[in-house]
Homo-oligomer: A and B are copies of this chain.
Amino acid sequence: MTANDLKFVVPAAPCGDESETERIVRLLGCIPLLSGLTRDELARFARGVRMQTAGRGSVLFHRGDPCHGFYLLLEGQVKLAFTSSEGHEKVIEIVRPGQSFGEAVMFMDKPYIVMAQALADCRLLHVAKKVVFEEMDRDPLFCRRIIASLSQRLHLLIADVETYSLHTARERIIGYLLREEELDGSPTPSGSVSLRLPTSKGTIASRLNLTQEHFSRILHELAESGLIVVEGRTIHIPDIEKLRTTRAHY
């Protein structure tokens, strides 16, 4: 069982039968934004929570849709992306179970600027704007968490901008593999590590701001120079240190 699994790991129910509210409270307590809140506080959220499923390919919201709350992904995979007028698409984030999305836009009175689409069959929670705002009025500590979370988001996005504008495609891909390895890699009997790409190569390519053709080619180059071994969606890295120090030149 690796982090690549499409399920959000939560503590098991204390007993066989729990109420729907209890179940939701348990799930909510596991997301970074809400962990640390008391049972009672979480219960207040539960009133505004809607359990939801989405089949692979279905769109949760489009650009321009009004925002009524934020989402927590329990199971499956979601991509956030925008599309240009010419139909080109750019993925800005691949959301994994346990992550939330759509918060930032909730705090402004603006419609979504990105769209969200299920990459696999999903189960998610939708938390209504209303209960979030009510809790913000009540609990200053909750506000602090939101501020921390937004700052974090901002930080990551700036790092993305840096990557896009200062690194070549090759460097971006190596960087991606190293990050992916960190949270998902599993060591093999020999000294190497393996990792499985979380979704299709085309989608990952777009996330890294390149075409799938170019992504494919660079993967091939890296394989040719012995830095990685590609086996379908699985990538083996014989010597991770070598990969780490190779970021530049052919």
Contacts and interface: CB of A to CB of B under 8 A. Distances in A.
Contact of A107 (B88, B106, B148): B148
A90 interface: yes
A144 B154 contact: no
A165 B164 contact: yes
A137 interface: yes
A160 to B, nearest CB: 7
A95 B1 CA distance: 48
Contacts of A159: 113
A93 to B, nearest CB: 10
A107 B152 CA distance: 9
Nearest to A162: B82
Give this chain's copy count: 2
**Which DSSP category, helix, strand, loop or mixed, fits chain A's interface?**
helix
A110 interface: yes
B92 A151 contact: no
A105 interface: yes
Contacts of A143: 136, 140, 143-144, 147
A150 B146 CA distance: 10
A157 B154 CA distance: 8
Interface in A125-146: 136-137, 140, 143-144, 146
A38 interface: no
Contact of A114 (B158, B164, B209): B158
B152 A108 contact: yes
Given A113-B159, A164-B164, 14 more contacts: A90-B161, A92-B158, A104-B155, A105-B151, A108-B155, A113-B155, A136-B140, A136-B144, A136-B147, A140-B140, A143-B147, A154-B154, A157-B158, A160-B161
Q: Which 6 A-B pairs have the closest CB atoms?
A: A143-B143, A107-B151, A150-B150, A84-B166, A104-B154, A90-B165
